[in-house]
Every structure is written in structure tokens, then in C-alpha cells.
Amino acid sequence: MTVDIGSPLALPCGATLKNRLAKGAMTEGLGDPLNRATEGHVRLYKRWAEGGAGMLLTGNVQVDRRYLERPGNVAIDGPQSNEAIAALRAYARAGTENGTHLWMQISHAGRQTPASVNKEPVGPSDKALEMPGSQFGKPRPLTGVEIEDVIRRFAHAATIARDTGFTGVQIHGAHGYLISEFLSPDVNTRTDEWGGSLENRARLLLETVRAVRRAVGDDFPVSVKLNSADFQRGGFSHEDAIRVAAWLDAEKLDLLEISGGTYEQPRLVGLDDMTLHPEKAEVRRESTIAREAYFLEYAKDIRAAVKMPLMVTGGFRTVAGMNAALASGTMDLVGIARPLCVDPAIPGKLLSGAAAETPAYEKTLRLGPGILGPHSPINMLKALNGWGQQGWFCLQILRMGEGKNPDPKMGVFTAFRNYAKNEARAAAAMQR
């Protein structure tokens, strides 16, 4: 039987997704100063649930509020107040309307915690991000006892997710956050049982998966987001990813999402090097550049090593491309993220045939060298394009959280400025 975007997907745990379209995780920034869910999450996820996707992944829900990906993250890192539990329940009810699955993405930002949140983040070692500006502090290496605590925190957050009505969890092991940092030999320079060999570097991920599975039971969906590669010389390689995926397959995961990149190499959003040392970046495969989806070529290699369902997010735009990828057997679930910031109802339109592709916006969100003058530093243009695009989509999410429609006419320079102002306000509110 031919599989397409409208086909249901049965997961190993027994749950079924109503179709093969999933909203990829995107940071929301809608949490209150105490890092609790809000009415903004309810409004936003109700709208996305009504949009027709089979499954919605939340943005980063942090397992330690000291190390956030940004101000406004939701955090679950201890006993939850009655108000916090009620807010999570409302969030879950909204996101599971229309027969939709809502999976909580649980994460620890590690060294990618911005300095506005914590000037001394933590990581596997003390290697800092090599990016322009002073947005991130130098990390402090975690102790063995602290690493064990991180594992317990992931299990605790997963339990709260299950108990408040979320229908699955995703452990974030990609994009340069803490678990991803442990996987990378470039970042993880430890010499104890948590560093060195790939088996040791993968220990945090595998022990976290096992702890989460024990906490939530066999009938609750547990997934992982894994980089196909870090695209950084000396980092987590594609060959590493294939081996780790095979180990995860033995843990009976319900879904593995294939992505790639870090803050330094943001291939997850189609951008290239953002560091002070572009010579360290790996060159993308030409076959990958030519494809509609960023990571499909890498997923093909991982598919050969695993049996569990695979999800690929990043770059999918046409129904024809999505259906071809599914029919090939390379993957089982199509992740769509940024297009839902422009049109939250796009999954239903793709499924019904009302639209053949997602909204086009990428070419309008890049600034040329002339915007800053002929002698401006290239790093400044990189920052404007990278963080400006990020800000543009974040502001669309904030608008929907406020009950407004997206504003596709917003300029990227305006988005860069307004996003920075919003982050500063949110960080100040957390300090009060």
C-alpha cells in the first residue's frame, strides 16, 4: 500500500498518529517570569491543533530553569505548584483537540544558555561557543553527580508531561544543546565515563532514554531528536549518528527525528556557518543541497541501520516532495515547522489538496551586504540574517499567542530589533 501524507502512522508503543504531518518544535517564548505555561500557549496550540497536523511538538521545555534556551521557556524542574499543573493541563487540552497528538520536547540548553539567563552555563567541558558578540558565557563542566541529576530531571519532566495530558515526549539530543554537546568530541573533552569513546559520549543520551521510559511506561510515546551531523569539523559526525541511531533502536524508541546543526552551524534552518571560524565548517553534500529536504540524504543512511519510525524536519515544501520521501520508505513522518508560523492551517490545506506547497518566504528574509554599507563586518551581516530570521519567526509565534494573525510583511531588520527588545524585557522580568 502506498504511503502518503494522509496515511496514519502506528507507533511501536501502540499509539497512532492520524496522518504523516507533524509540526516541528519551535521555541515559543510564551512562558511567564516563573517559567510556567500561559494562555498564550493555549491560544497558539489550539490554533495549530485545528490546523490538521497529526502531531505537534512543543518548543523546548527545560528540565532546569537555571539553564534556559531563552527567557520565556517553560521549565519543569521540581515539584510543580497547583497553578503550574493547571496551566500545563490547559496547554495539553488545547494541543490535543481535533484528534491531534501533542508531544512535549524536553531539553537542557547546556552551554547554549544565553548570558542574559545565566552568565555561567554548564556543559560537558569548558569549551565556549565560538560566535561573535558576548551572547554566551564560558561553560562550567558538570560533575558526575550533576550529570546523574540531569538524567533524573528528564525523567521527572516526562512524568509531569504524561500526567498533565501530553500524549508523548521528545528528548532533545540535537542542535548543540546539552545532550548534543556530550555527543560531540569537539565539545566533550572529558576523560571520565562520560567522555572519550562514542559509547561514553552517548551515555547521557542512552541513560536518559532509559530513565524516561521507566518513568512513563511502555505505552507512552518516547522519541529522540538526533543530529545527522553537527557539520563542524571534529564534531559529531554522520558516521557517529548512524551508530547512535542503532543503539537507540535497541531501546525501542517510538520515533527518531533526524535533524542537524548547532547554533554555530544552523543547518536546521537552512543557514550556514555563524562562527568566527568558518574554515571549521563541514561542506554540505551536493546531493543534499539539491534536495527539497535538508536531511533526507542523511536519513537514508540511518534508515538502513534502524527499524523504528523516522521523522525528518527541515526544508519540506511541496506535497509531491513529501509523498515521494514517504513512499521511498526512507522516512515515516514529515516535520514542518516555520511554514506554520506563516499559515497555521497549512497542514490541513496540504492534506485536502487545497494547497500543493507551503508558503514561500525564505528569499524575502535575507539581507544583502548593501544593507549595512560596503565596509561593514561580515559577522554583523551573519548575525542580522541569522538572528533576524530567528526573530521574525519568533515574533509570528508571539503574535498568534496573543490571538493575532501572523504578519508576513514584517521586515527582517525590524524583526531583529523587536526580537532583541522582547528578549531583554523577558530576561529582566525573570530577574525581578
Range of the domain at 101: 9-360
Q: Is 74 within a domain? A: yes
Q: Is the pLDDT of residue 289 over 50?
A: no
Burial class (CB in 10 A: 0-12, 13-18, 19+), 262: buried
Mean predicted confidence (pLDDT) in 210-231: 92
The CA-CA-CA angle for residues 60, 61, 67, to 5°, reads 85
Please state the length of the chain.
Answer: 432
Domain CATH code at residue 122? 3.20.20.70
In a domain, 122, yes or no: yes
- Residue 375 covered by a domain: no
Q: Which of these, 381, 380, 410, 383, lies nearest to 394 by C-alpha position?
A: 410
pLDDT digits (tens, 9 = 90+) for 78-120: 999 999 999 999 999 999 999 999 999 999 999 999 999 999 9
The total number of structural domains that make up the chain: 1
In a domain, 382, yes or no: no
User: Looking at residue 22, what DSSP letter applies?
Assistant: E
Residue whose C-alpha cell reads 540524504 in the numeric block: 297
Classify residue 418 as exposed, middle or buried by CB count within 10 Å of its CB (0-12, 13-18, 19+).
Answer: middle
129 pLDDT above the threshold of 80: yes
Is residue 394 in a domain? Answer: no
| 168-207 pLDDT tens trace | 999 999 989 999 999 999 999 999 999 999 999 999 999 9
H helices within 11-164, ranges in order? 39-50, 82-95, 144-163
- The verdict on residue 377 lying in a domain is no
Residue 418 pLDDT: 81
- Cell numbers for 65: 530553569
The mean pLDDT value for 243-254 works out to 96
Question: What is the rounded average pLDDT of the residues 379-385?
Answer: 55
Query: How many Cβ atoms from other residues are within 10 Å of residue 159's Cβ?
Result: 18
Residue 320 has pLDDT above 80, yes or no: yes
> How high is the pLDDT of residue 131?
63
Higher confidence at residue 430 or residue 13? 13
pTM value is: 0.89
Q: Kindly tell me the burial class for residue 413, based on how many C-beta atoms sit within 10 Å of its own C-beta (0-12, 13-18, 19 or more).
A: middle
Across 262-269, average pLDDT: 49
Residue 120 belongs to some domain of the structure: yes
Kindly state whether residue 407 falls inside one of the protein's structural domains.
no
Residue 431: Cβ within 10 Å count: 9
Query: Poorest-confidence range of 61-70, 315-324, 385-394?
Result: 385-394
Give the Cα separation of 175 and 184 in Å (integer): 11
Q: Is the pLDDT of residue 291 over 90?
A: no
